Amino acid sequence: MLKIKLKAAAFHFLFTALVASFAGVLIFIVWYPSPYTTISGGFGLWVILTLVELSLGPLMSIVIYNPQKKIKELVCDYALVGLLQIAALTYGVYILYSARPLFMVFVKDRFELVTASDLTPRLQSDAEKWRANWSGPTVLGVRSSETASEQRELMFDTVLSGVGIHLRPKYYTDLDADGVLSVCKPVSSLIIAVGDSFGEEYTVELSRLAPGDDYCWVPVVNGNRYWTAILEKNLNFVKFLPIDPWELHNE
């Protein structure tokens, strides 16, 4: 009996893994494409979702499967298990959808990552016209205030509400490439700074970026977490490192 139950659980496991793989394609190609998978937390969320699905279904299959049951009983049991798995999958996918990155907004000397959960539905609607493609975040800049009202908003309301300019779509504008390049520092300086602050943990990885003159780095803020982004000189994002750039020395 145990052998038969394990066989049923194995088939259930393979089917669940197939469904999780299809969900992974949606998640990692459309919502969290490389290199945004790590910085947005998409990979970790997907791992949790997949582990829950891969353990929930097969374990329940071991419990409910019995070859002596009538077909009608098995269909009913597996329908209930399927509904439970679908509910768990739907909830997990919804969480991933809500946390997907929408924009990388350049503000003064850094990029701010904006996720779907950072914007209210109304603000998402206002920002939709700036979405350049359906896969991954769109890279933008912000404009200066144009009226006295906007100036007061940026000076006072931003401070009081905690809603920065990167979360205000009406200030979005096309990215100023020269502005980014003016603050984007060479990777060679990052290797030195990382070596002084973190040892060799990241220096080997950074040293593989050759020739180094083709790459530069700039700080990235993701909520209350700080990262370091490696960019090509054409401003394509190459990699995000979990390094607080404001803790570095000798930059």
Q: Using alpha carbons, select from 9, 162, 4, 154 the residue that is nearest to residue 81.
A: 9
Per-range mean pLDDT, top range of 31-40, 58-67, 120-129: 120-129
- Tell me the residue length of the chain: 251
Report the chain's terminal Cα–Cα distance, integer Å.
65
**Average pLDDT of the chain?**
85
The 10s digit of each residue's pLDDT in 100-147 is 999 999 999 999 999 999 999 999 999 999 998 878 899 999 999 989
Rounded CA gap, 160 and 154, in Å?
Answer: 10
**pLDDT attached to residue 1:** 67
16: pLDDT strictly greater than 80 = yes
Q: Using alpha carbons, select from 48, 6, 56 the residue that is nearest to residue 27.
A: 48
251: pLDDT strictly greater than 50 = no
* Radius of gyration (C-alpha) of the chain in whole angstroms: 24
The answer to pTM > 0.95 is: no
Q: What mean pLDDT do residues 83-108 have?
A: 89
Q: How many contiguous H segments (helices) and E segments (strands) does the chain have?
A: 10, 8
